[in-house]
Structures are given as structure tokens and as C-alpha cells.
Structure 1
Amino acid sequence: MDGTRNNIEHWQERVDLAAAFRWTVKLNMHEGVSNHFSLAINDDGTKFLMNPNQMHFSRIKASDMLVIDANDPATLEGPNAPDPTAWGLHGGLHRHCPHARCAMHVHSVHATVLACMKDKILPPLEQNAAMFYDRQVVDDNYGGLAFEEEGERCAQLFDDPKKKVMIMGNHGIMVIGDTVAETFNRMYFFERACEVYIRALQTGQPLSILPDEIAAKTADEIENYPEQDIRHLAELKALLDEEGSNYAE
């Protein structure tokens, strides 16, 4: 995973991240030139790859990724400086949560609807939702744009490494994981599960929520299911390749 292309380090990680940006657009889970994904590239996680400031997700290529040092505030002063909110949110996260190797922040529609509800926890309504049973954390104290202070506050909420989805109240979601494949897969299924939940609520009918013991069992089974995340991302890259996408340049 530390291969190079044209003397660019961490090439495969860059390719995976670029593919995730491109497919997020296809799923209409993007905000144009806003939102950010990051991936740690050193042992303690404080150096990470991230998308360039204000570049549309649909144009991001592997070679475009910024290399950010979470411990170097001067990063914001350079000619290729990251978005200040990306620095605040992702910098704080990578400084305080070494287990958050990859982080994806989106305002996808259905997850953001959930983030705007009084009860922000996704219940185990069906199999995809059960995947997140006891694996969510809620930030109920939205404080404006995620500059450094807000980013530091949010990072503290990920203290429990079991909980890898943050529902950011009145804002969106932050999803973390060990790899791009794992994190993208989790983000994708959380949005899918939120859509089912929101549509079920719209029927006005009583909901049939899974019992806690079944939800917990299902969550463990899915977490230990072999290679679904790896194969998911591999298939998405294969589809992008068939389309002639330049994401891997």
C-alpha cells in the first residue's frame, strides 16, 4: 500500500480515496465543493491525505490529494492550504483519535434528516440499520462551522473506538474506520439505512424495531463479515475504470 507513481507517495491510498469521492457524487451524497474525506498516512495518524480546498468531488484525482500535518497550524498559511473547516474537523480528529485512520464527513440527505430530529439515534429497524446498533455517537451541541475549536470538541466524542458513526446534530455525519474501503462502506450503508427509516416514518404506520439482542447479534455478524468492504470498493473502482474515469491519475 506504500507504492508510488510518478514519485508520489501513498499512491494506492490516494487512488482509493479518489474513487470514494467520485462514487459519493454518483450517490448524490456530496455537497459540491464542500465536505471532506481524510486518510492517515503515519503511525500516530497526525499526517493525513485530504481533498483540495473547494474542488468538486467529481473532479478529484489521486494526484490532487493534499498532505496535511495536524500538528502544524502553519498548514493554513501555505499556497495550497486546506479548507479551514476541514483543518478544524479532520485535524482535531486525527490528533485525538489515532484509531480514526480514515474519516468521511458528508451532509447526505437522509442522514442529515436524522441529524435534525430530536431523537438522532438510528434504531435497528432492518438489517442495514442493525449494523449500527450501539455503534453511534450523537453530537447534540452544534456550535457553528467546524473551525478548530468545534473540531476539537467533536473529536472528543469518538473516545469509544467501537462507535464509528457520529450523528452531528443539525449538521450531517462523520464516519470513521481503518481504511477507505471500510469507511466508505460504513458511510454508504448508514445513508441507506437512514433512507429506509425516514421513508418508514413517512408512512405514519407503527414501526417494527428489532429486539436489542437480535440487533446486537446482527451488528457483530456484519462487522465480522469477510471482505465486503474491500470487494465493494474494488467493484466501484472497476466500474470507474470501465467508464474511463481519470480518478486514478
Structure 2
Amino acid sequence: MATAIDARQWTEAEWAARRQLAACYRIFDHFGWTELIYNHITLRVPGEDDAFLINGFGLHYSEIKASNLVKVDIDGKRLDSNAGPINPAGFMQHSLFHRHVLDAHCVIHTHTTAGMAVASTREGLQPTNFYSAAFHGQIAYHDFEGVTIREEEGTRLLANLGDKRVMILRNHGLLVMAPTLPEAFLRYFLLERACAAQIATSQAGTPMPVPDEVIAVHQRDLQAMQAFGSPGAPDFAAMVRVIDRIDTSWRD
């Protein structure tokens, strides 16, 4: 019989953040954006700018729950009783952005097939479809330096990121950050779709780039549409309803 979780050990705000992040992991699993026990989605703890939540190393995304997320500070100190290990590569990269990018409250990094395929091309993401045109001019690139465990790479990661909040790690994968988890989720969903569509396009025939003047109008109109409400909130809520119909254990 499962042991009941006493959420009173966390503040109401942290428990809500834990549930939101756990739901996001389950949504990523639902879409197949998983890599065994690797990759990470992290979220700052509300009211604690130096603390964030991360998945414990060894857990599959389908096993993530609100209660088994690990709370850690940007220096690597554990801030809760969860004893699970943390992937050093994930901690190094995510703590870097949480420390230095003030609006990076949620950070997502994946190794999906579509993302890695586009990241492994000289051209990177090209404005040849509805989604990729929306990202044109808004993506940073960082050259592959091997597994991300060396602190000195952080300086180059930040320099290459600049004022962008979406980065393609060449030969590696995708990186997205945003002020809220729902906005990061939506941004990632659109980027993943852009990459998948680009791969399908290359198999279907000769890619047809969207003209610059159309890209400008497209991005302007998309920005105007997102001005109402909280970006990504209804999209994320819809996916929470989907996973709730499958399994509600992420709430524990």
C-alpha cells in the first residue's frame, strides 16, 4: 500500500511548483520526448531565487512525482530530504542558467531525434515551415564541446546565449528557457514541431524558405496573439487534463 504524502512539509507555493513540474515531466513522457533517465526540466522554487527543482538521477520521466523531485541550490547543496543522486551534467547546465539568466525560471533540455538531427546540420533550423519561421532570428547556437560537466564551458554558453532564450546545442540537442513553466513548455513544443517538420520537408522534396517580409508579418501577428493572457497556460492546462486521464500519480 502506497504511503500517503504529507505536502505540509513544503510551502503551498513550492508544492504547487512541484506538481506543475511533475506534470510537465509526464507530458514530455506522453509525447515521447524522453531519453531513458537523462535530460532535465528544472523550475525555480517560488520565492527562493537560488533554489530550483530537478529530477532525481535514475528516474524515468514516467516515474516523476511532485514529492520525488529534488530541491537544490545553485551551488549544488541539497535543500530537502530526497536522497536521490543528481546528474552532474544536468546540474551544471541548469544551475548556470538559473544563476545568471534572471528570467530563466524554467529551463528545458532534451535529446530528441528531431532536435538532435537539426542540431547536427550545418544550416541549423531554417525558416521553411510555420513553426520555424516563428523562431527565425530568435535562436542562439553553441558548438559542441562534449558532455557538459566542465565549469569553464559555462562562460561560452552564456556568451552564445546572449539575449536569446532558445538555443540549439550543435550536435547535441535543444535548450529552451522562459519566465514560467507553461511558456517554456509551449516554446519547446513549437521548437520540437519546427524541427520535426524540417526533417519531414527534407525527405519530401526541396525546402521552400519563407520570404523575410512574410516572416516579419508572421512573427508580428503571433506576438499580438500572445499578448492576451499568460503564454502557454491554456496549452499546458489542456495537456494536464490529458495525462490526468492516463495516470494521476504525478500529483503525489
Give the alignment's TM-score, normalised by structure 1: 0.88
Kindly state the Cα deviation for residue 5 of structure 1 after the two structures are TM-superposed. 3.4
| Within-5 A mapping of 1:163-182 | 163-182=164-183
Distance apart, 1:151 and its partner CA: 4.1
Q: What secondary structure, in the 3-state scheme, does the structure 1 residue paired with 2:140 have?
A: strand
Residues 79/239 of structure 1: CA separation in 2 closer, same or farther (3 Å cut): closer
Inter-CA distance 146–79: structure 2 relative to 1 (3 Å threshold):
same
Structure 1 residues 248, 155: CA separation in 2 closer, same or farther (over 3 Å shift)? farther
Structure 2 Cα separation of the partners of residues 107 and 157 of structure 1: 19
Cα distance between partner residues in 2 of 1:248 and 1:79: 20
Structure 1 letter corresponding to 2:242: L
Alignment-derived partner of residue 127 in structure 2: 124
Give the 3 Å change call, closer, same or farther, for CA 167–44 of structure 1 in structure 2: farther
1:12 to 9, 13, 16: 16
Q: Where do 1:151-162 residues align within 5 Å?
A: 151-160=154-163
CA 1:42 to 1:14, structure 2 compared with 1: closer, same or farther past 3 Å?
closer
Matched residues in 2 for 1:79 and 1:244: separation?
25
Write out aligned runs for 1:56-135 (5 A). 56-70=60-74, 72-75=75-78, 79-120=83-124, 122-135=125-138
SS of the residue corresponding to residue 16 of structure 1 reads helix
Which shows bigger deviation, 148-157 or 232-241? 148-157
**Equivalence for 2:58:** 54
Measure, in 2, the Cα distance between the counterparts of 1:79 and 1:246: 20
Deviation at 1:172, TM superposition (A): 0.4
Comparing 237-246 with 17-26, greater Cα deviation is found at: 237-246
1:19 corresponds to which letter in structure 2? A
Bigger drift between 41-50 and 107-116 goes to 41-50
Q: Match for residue 139 of structure 1?
A: 142
Cα distance change on mapping 1:153 and 1:127 into 2, 3 Å: same
Kept in 2, the 8 Å contact 1:88–1:152? The answer is no
Contact 1:61 1:247 in 2 (8 A): yes
CA 1:43 to 1:132, structure 2 compared with 1: closer, same or farther past 3 Å?
farther
8 Å CA contact 2:140–2:162 kept in 1: the answer is no
Which blocks of at least 5 consecutive residues in structure 1 are unaligned?
A: none
Aligned-residue CA RMSD (Å): 2.2
**2:161 match: secondary structure:** coil
Judging changes above 3 Å, is the alpha-carbon distance between structure 1 residues 156 and 241 closer, same or farther for their aligned structure 2 residues?
same
How far is 1:18 from its partner? Answer: 1.0
| TM-score between the two structures when normalised by the length of structure 2 | 0.87
Which ranges in structure 2 are unaligned for 5 or more consecutive residues? Answer: 1-5
**SS at 1:46 equivalent:** strand
Percent identity over the alignment? 28
User: Which residue in 2 is equivalent to 1:218?
Assistant: 218
